[in-house]
Structure 1
Amino acid sequence: MQSADEQKQSESPSPPSHLLSYDNGIGATHGEATRVTRAWWKMDCFVLPIVTSIFFLCFLDRGNVGNARIAGLQKDLNMSNYQYSLALTITVIPYVLIEIPSNLWLKRIGPNIVLPLMTVLWGIATTLQGTVTSYGGLIACRFFIGLFEGGLSPGCMLYLSSFYPRRQLQLRISIYFTAPTIAGAFSGLLASAILHMDGIGGKPGWAWVFILEGLFTILFGLCTFFILPRTPSHVPFLTPEEKAYVARVLHDENTKLSQMTSGIRASDLTARKTPYTDRDHDEDESYTSEKADKIRWRDVLRVLKLPHIWLIGIIAGVFNGATLSGLTYFTPSIVASLGYLANKAQLMSVPPFIVSFVLAIASSYLSDRYSKRGLTIIVFALLGVAGFGIFLGSHHPHARYASLFLILPGTYAMASPLVAWISNNTHTPYTTRATSIALLTVATNSGGIFSTWLLGSWSKPPGYTSAAWCLGMFQVGIAVCAGVCWAWLWRENRRGSGVGEEQYVM
């Protein structure tokens, strides 16, 4: 015979969320762990590839101007290096201005509408780049690419953070952030193939790079309107029971974090007395709710009072963004400056991006497993410093090319822990979280404005000496910011040790 308490527990429709883990299911029964594992595995197989593909196309269409440049774009449009840098800057300015407003309104309009619409619109602008015959036409297209792509990156990151608990987030963010590395590698391969169309239809090869890649983006964006789910409860392959489990885990985590950030101690926390129901989910005003939260400007301003936002979201964001954007636009030019011909330079830019991809995935798995965001950032920052040191210290083309295998991973693989660290430590309310993620991308793209000039007209090939010195120091600055942020979060966790678990992820 079961006791009354045991019988009541056995009748509960769902176990406590802290027993449910996608990674190991520690403390849960085999059946419970299997159901939760299956639920997030389905989202990994359905939601994650869609969002990653959108971001892949974003970086492919944003950065293919670098491939077009060494294929004859700059020569055919009679552009100086100054004008080329200006064209890149025109892309970034509307990109930066639209990011925070876009993220604040993303949930109200619906990410399943906003994200596909952005994709279609910038695909049209990318395609039109292949029809320009003047510098003014290129400037107009670059402006609209920046305008329509702006908000995509923070929007996708905010969207993903609504599907996964914070200690499972970096690996998914890392998979999402493999898109730029894959785009960097694939862009060289694709451009090398498309350039063989030179002269078809009376258009140069670089024009076909824009046209074909833009048309594919438009088609994918149109398909995404019909398949991208608005929230976890709209994922088509989840059973009703799996949706309830996912909603329970996300709801309980948001509630716990809200209590911790409000200063409630462990002794004040009270367990839920009733099972989680669909009605709870519908009426909940946390991030996982179906109802759009109101935009509260005090929550927007609250972000600016958080030290880790300044250290990681703004200062380190600007530093990383400068290097990231610079390498996105100029890696083919850097490789070409080492003595490789245009078509071979496209191909030789591929291997460093592949290494970046592998290291990003491996480090994110370990970072999620051991919750070491700050350490991951510091390691990759120092890896980038070593790469820039080799680039500056040697004038041999092979040594400089080898340095890219340190510089690119040190930059690209750092992006996912930066995003995950910000998202993990500003979880609620929705407006605060949306603003913090948007601020990181604003800072990142603001750094990109600087790098378009630094590598475009202020630092000359083949040495790029001024750029290498500056970007190397930025990597040092990121390591320092991460170290200071880690120390501050450690102190805050020690001060709040009465809370049931650590308030901040390290």
Structure 2
Amino acid sequence: MDRKDSLSSHSAEFEKAGTHAAFSQEESATLEKRVWRKLDWYILPVVTMFYLLSWLDRTNLGNARVAGIQQDLRMNNKQYSIALTVTFVPYIVSEIPSNLLLKIVGPNLLLPALIVSWGIVTTFQGFVSTYGGLLACRFFIGLLEGGVLPGLVLYLSMFYPRRKLQSRISAFFSSASLSGAFSGLLATAIMKMHGMGGRPAWAWIFILEGLFTVVFGFMSVFVLPKAPQHTRFLSQREKEYVISELRQAGAISTDDKNDGFSWAEVRRTFSRPQFWFLGFVYFFNGTMLYSLAYFTPSIVQALGYTPIRTQLMTVGPYGAAFVLTNVASVIADRYQCRGFVAIFSSLCCLAGFAIYKTSTDKATLYGSLFLTIGGINCSSPALAAWVANNFAPHVRRATAIAALSMITNSGGILSTWLMASWSKPPRYTSATIVFLVFAAMMGIFTAFNLAYLYYANKAKALQRESTTQSEESPDLGDKSAWYPYIL
């Protein structure tokens, strides 16, 4: 069934339910151009800044390491790994509860509250003088940041239909690439503040970045809308159009009761085959993503560059990753090919790690980072959109997004030990071999998921030929024959 036929079949049901507003073809064309542009202008900058600050405040410990925090706090490599691990544990624990609370509390309140809170903790991290104090700060940063990534993905799925989602997720996901570049430039500038106010350079990295996070969090309360029907910048007709599009695409249920909280829907999430295929993909992705996020400054410095030169040289790979991520996401939305983008990403990582493992030339080793950092960052919005697209109703989607994010961060725990304790610079041989295997396995399990969704869609097409939508149970969610999976 093509999209036009699919929308027509949905439209009849919505009109019957009294929730679908009738739009002429001319009006729909006008609203199509205007409404999404408005949402992009008002929502995406705030969401993007949320994630940039989240990533910056979570990974700036890598920049602080180059700036001397490990020596000043007398940490060995094992203790540094523990400091990173302490961040991940509460981060993982908080993800599902936070995502289930998002709609109840309201994203316009919960997300800014989390941002202000972890910004305060990040600021105080610049005043620690003991290893124990650093551990305490890292614990609370993880606890408060845990709900942000799954919350932002879920939040955007409440505003954009499935076909438009990845390019929007990419807008904020690629800010991780941007933060990698920005943190290098910022750290380079801040390192010149060493000794100011009696504080070392690494302390100023935390203090200045934390204070900016707090200020932005307070400002966002007045900007972020709760839901499409609560947007001040949309007219009533535009709000009706957004709701209509979301319902037609299956992003929200035609019956609001189906989007209410239910423990049964939480449990059903884990019965879906695509959850488990993606679980492996997310773990492999998370291990590589966090290894590069936390240790790129250390990898570059191990090649023989000075600390300031190192900070500057982290900018290039992350800047290239920012461009690649957004281009790939536009293509994925245009052709609805999330899985193929993820496979392309795994191939980039495979090539990059293979070069790093076999080459001895310093310039080539540095150049391989463009492939690995670009590849792993490119995969993240594709995977996030894939989950948001193929789980319904709301509670099932919220649970899947948060649970898979937990798996990603479990890979992050492994990354901290692979890079800091189990592998030695400058080549990080053991870690590189693991990453080669993980990049290959990420591509393989992505292909498994693609195959499952493809054959599930064929079965749904056959079912649509032999039954009508009114004969289906209204609570099937993504198992409905009229909910085709996006590949």
Query: TM-score with structure 1 length normalisation?
Result: 0.87
CA distance in 2, matches of 1:105, 1:187: 31
SS of residue in 1 equivalent to 2:427 = coil
1:354-393: CA deviations, max 9, x gaps? 1111111111111111111111110110110000000001
The aligned counterpart of 1:493 is: 457
1:162-211: CA deviations, max 9, x gaps? 10000110100111101110110000000100111111100011100100
CA distance in 1, matches of 2:38, 2:399: 29
CA distance in 1, matches of 2:107, 2:172: 16
The aligned counterpart of 2:194 is: 198
Which of 437, 444, 467 is equivalent to 1:473? Answer: 437
Distance 1:184 1:358, change over 3 A: same
The answer on whether the counterparts of 1:321 and 1:445 sit within 8 Å (CA) in structure 2 is yes
SS of residue in 1 equivalent to 2:249 = helix
The answer on whether the counterparts of 1:85 and 1:457 sit within 8 Å (CA) in structure 2 is yes
Aligned length in residues: 455
Does structure 1 residue 307 correspond to structure 2 residue 267? no
Identity of aligned pairs, percent? 47
Unaligned runs of 5+ in 1: 1-11, 21-27, 259-279, 288-292
Unaligned runs of 5+ in 2: 1-14, 465-480
CA distance in 1, matches of 2:159, 2:46: 13
Farther-moved stretch of structure 1 (493-502 vs 215-224): 493-502
Q: 1:240 Cα shift?
A: 1.1
Equivalent positions of 1:30-179 (< 5 A) are 30-179=26-175
CA distance in 2, matches of 1:328, 1:157: 20
Equivalent positions of 1:215-364 (< 5 A) are 215-254=211-250, 284-285=256-257, 287=259, 293-294=260-261, 296-312=262-278, 314-364=279-329
Q: 1:397 Cα shift?
A: 1.1
The aligned counterpart of 1:391 is: 356
Distance 1:64 1:34, change over 3 A: same
CA distance in 2, matches of 1:137, 1:186: 27
Q: 1:18 Cα shift?
A: 12
Which amino acid is 1:139 matched to? L
Distance 1:351 1:18, change over 3 A: farther
Q: 1:17 Cα shift?
A: 7.8
SS of residue in 2 equivalent to 1:470 = helix
Which of 425, 445, 451 is equivalent to 2:390? Answer: 425
Which amino acid is 1:453 matched to? W
Q: 1:432 Cα shift?
A: 0.6
Which amino acid is 1:310 matched to? W
The aligned counterpart of 2:424 is: 460
SS of residue in 2 equivalent to 1:126 = helix
Q: 1:431 Cα shift?
A: 1.2
Structure 1's consecutive aligned runs of 4 or more residues displaced over 4 angstroms after TM superposition are: 16-20
Q: 1:253 Cα shift?
A: 2.6
CA distance in 2, matches of 1:124, 1:397: 40
Which amino acid is 2:359 matched to? S
CA distance in 1, matches of 2:21, 2:425: 55
Which amino acid is 1:469 matched to? I
CA distance in 1, matches of 2:22, 2:388: 23
Distance 1:18 1:385, change over 3 A: farther
The aligned counterpart of 1:5 is: none
Which amino acid is 1:432 matched to? R
Does structure 1 residue 443 correspond to structure 2 residue 407? yes
CA distance in 2, matches of 1:36, 1:480: 37
Distance 1:432 1:411, change over 3 A: same
CA distance in 2, matches of 1:225, 1:29: 36
CA distance in 2, matches of 1:309, 1:202: 51
Which amino acid is 2:271 matched to? K
Q: 1:47 Cα shift?
A: 0.6
The answer on whether the counterparts of 2:21 and 2:240 sit within 8 Å (CA) in structure 1 is no
CA distance in 2, matches of 1:17, 1:70: 57
Q: 1:231 Cα shift?
A: 0.3
The answer on whether the counterparts of 2:21 and 2:241 sit within 8 Å (CA) in structure 1 is no
SS of residue in 2 equivalent to 1:458 = coil
Which of 355, 359, 373 is equivalent to 1:408? Answer: 373
CA distance in 1, matches of 2:417, 2:147: 23
The answer on whether the counterparts of 2:21 and 2:244 sit within 8 Å (CA) in structure 1 is no
The aligned counterpart of 1:503 is: 484
Which of 369, 375, 380 is equivalent to 2:345? Answer: 380
CA distance in 2, matches of 1:495, 1:130: 57
CA distance in 2, matches of 1:408, 1:115: 28
CA distance in 2, matches of 1:18, 1:339: 64
The answer on whether the counterparts of 2:188 and 2:311 sit within 8 Å (CA) in structure 1 is yes
CA distance in 2, matches of 1:327, 1:134: 26
The answer on whether the counterparts of 1:177 and 1:416 sit within 8 Å (CA) in structure 2 is yes
The answer on whether the counterparts of 1:36 and 1:246 sit within 8 Å (CA) in structure 2 is no
1:420-456: CA deviations, max 9, x gaps? 1111110x22111100000111011010000000001
CA distance in 1, matches of 2:328, 2:482: 24
Q: 1:19 Cα shift?
A: 10
The answer on whether the counterparts of 1:67 and 1:187 sit within 8 Å (CA) in structure 2 is yes
Superposed CA RMSD in Å reads 2.0
Q: 1:502 Cα shift?
A: 6.4
